[in-house]
């Protein structure tokens, strides 16, 4: 009885925490909403000195860097997962998997420094750019960081497909290609989807590594899909400006609103993940 009570109290407390976080963020950014209405959310200019807190440039930057990361990491991660789950001998498989798990454990600032010293000069020389600090750099770095999540979880999902199904396919004379496309991937799809959504969350919230390579300029790329230009993300803005903003000022409120936007996006993604898990 006591145990049950303790379990439910803990569960309640932990689920309350997220409400507390969202509530705190909303309360702290309220002065800004009160003073400027909601128009600043779609504003394109961010100049704290002039009380302009347009959220659009950093929002677009976040969406772009995450999209790029997914476009790169998703095909690579799933391909690696298929290879590991279906084709590699067990010993090699565990080596690859171990390497992926190690990759997941490397602190993000290390990826950031790697990006600064290796990726940026490479981009500059290969693409002949004015500066390597671009959305593409952020996307590539994020892709590297979310690759392990996608690969490991997708592999689990593929391996979870029952062996009897593979054998049945074989007995029916269906080739490996067709088995993969028609049997394995459709059944593993919910798992891959969850992996993708989790990875999206990680990419969205990543701060230090992105801050070091994205250029940190609050400007929407021209044209807006030009990912070879420097930009800003919500996290890198918070990382750069939080320390200087005096507590309780409008600037402070605006930075916390960036946090609220990120938290809301993360909650939305979690809800999506949750729905899909329930559906399985």
Site membership for another protein, residue 130 (CB under 8 A): yes
State the sign of the Cα–Cα–Cα–Cα dihedral 95, 96, 99, 100. Answer: negative
- Pick from 35, 118, 244, 264: which binds another protein (CB under 8 A)? 244
Site membership for another protein, residue 164 (CB under 8 A): no
Shortest spacing between CB 133 and another protein, in angstroms: 5
Q: What is the SS3 assignment for 53?
A: strand
- What value does the CA radius of gyration of the chain take, rounded to a whole number of Å? 22
Shortest spacing between CB 121 and another protein, in angstroms: 7
- Binding segment toward another protein, per CB under 8 A, in 17-25, 41-49, 80-88, 150-158: 41-49
Contact at 8 Å (CB) between 111 and 185?
Answer: no
Phi, psi at residue 96, to the nearest 5°?
-60, -45
Residue with tokens 């490991």: 152
Shortest spacing between CB 45 and another protein, in angstroms: 9
Site for another protein in 207-236 (CB under 8 A): 215-217, 230
Query: Tokens for 70?
Result: 């997914």
- Pick from 243, 275, 278, 279: which binds another protein (CB under 8 A)? 243
Site membership for another protein, residue 241 (CB under 8 A): yes
Phi, psi at residue 52, to the nearest 5°?
-105, 120
- Pick from 6, 30, 47, 98: which binds another protein (CB under 8 A)? 47
Shortest spacing between CB 92 and another protein, in angstroms: 39
- Pick from 8, 27, 95, 131: which binds another protein (CB under 8 A)? 131
Please identify, using beta-carbon distances, which residue of 57 and 201 lies nearer to another protein. Answer: 57
CB atoms under 10 Å from CB of 94, counted, come to: 12
Q: What is the SS3 assignment for 230?
A: coil
| Number of residues engaging another protein in binding (CB under 8 A) | 22
Please identify, using beta-carbon distances, which residue of 112 and 148 lies nearer to another protein. Answer: 112
- Binding segment toward another protein, per CB under 8 A, in 32-40, 165-173, 182-190, 238-246: 238-246
Site membership for another protein, residue 43 (CB under 8 A): no
**Alpha helix locations (H) across the chain?**
2-36, 56-82, 90-105, 108-114, 120-127, 135-159, 163-171, 176-178, 185-205, 208-213, 234-241, 250-279
- Pick from 4, 12, 15, 49: which binds another protein (CB under 8 A)? 49
Shortest spacing between CB 112 and another protein, in angstroms: 12
Query: Tokens for 34?
Result: 């009160």
Q: What is the SS3 assignment for 46?
A: strand
Contact at 8 Å (CB) between 254 and 53?
Answer: yes
Please identify, using beta-carbon distances, which residue of 201 and 230 lies nearer to another protein. Answer: 230
Contact at 8 Å (CB) between 148 and 74?
Answer: no
**What residue ranges bind another protein (CB under 8 A)?**
47-50, 116, 120-121, 124, 130-131, 133, 215-217, 230, 240-241, 243-247
């Amino acid at each position: 009885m006591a145990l049950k009570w303790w379990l439910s109290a803990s569960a309640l407390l932990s689920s309350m925490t997220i409400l507390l976080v969202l509530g705190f963020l909303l309360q702290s950014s309220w002065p800004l909403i009160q003073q400027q209405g909601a128009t600043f959310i779609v504003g394109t200019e961010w100049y704290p000195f002039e009380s302009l807190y347009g959220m659009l440039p950093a929002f677009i930057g976040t969406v772009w860097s995450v999209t790029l990361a997914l476009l790169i990491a998703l095909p690579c991660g799933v391909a690696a997962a298929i290879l590991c789950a279906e084709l590699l001998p067990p010993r090699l498989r565990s080596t690859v998997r171990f390497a992926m798990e190690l990759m997941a454990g490397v602190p993000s600032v290390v990826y950031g420094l790697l990006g600064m010293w290796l990726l940026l000069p490479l981009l500059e020389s290969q693409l002949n750019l004015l500066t390597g600090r671009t959305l593409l750099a952020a996307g590539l770095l994020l892709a590297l960081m979310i690759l392990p999540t996608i690969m490991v979880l997708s592999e689990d999902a593929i391996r979870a497909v029952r062996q009897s199904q593979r054998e049945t396919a074989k007995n029916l004379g269906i080739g490996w290609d067709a088995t993969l496309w028609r049997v394995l991937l459709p059944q593993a799809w919910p798992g891959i989807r969850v992996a993708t959504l989790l990875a999206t969350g990680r990419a969205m919230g990543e701060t230090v590594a992105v801050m070091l390579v994205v250029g940190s300029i609050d400007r929407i790329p021209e044209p807006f899909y030009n990912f070879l230009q420097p930009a800003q993300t919500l996290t890198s803005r918070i990382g750069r400006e939080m320390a200087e903003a005096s507590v309780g000022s409008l600037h402070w409120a605006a930075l916390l609103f960036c946090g609220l936007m990120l938290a809301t996006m993360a909650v939305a993604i979690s809800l999506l993940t949750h729905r899909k898990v329930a559906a399985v």
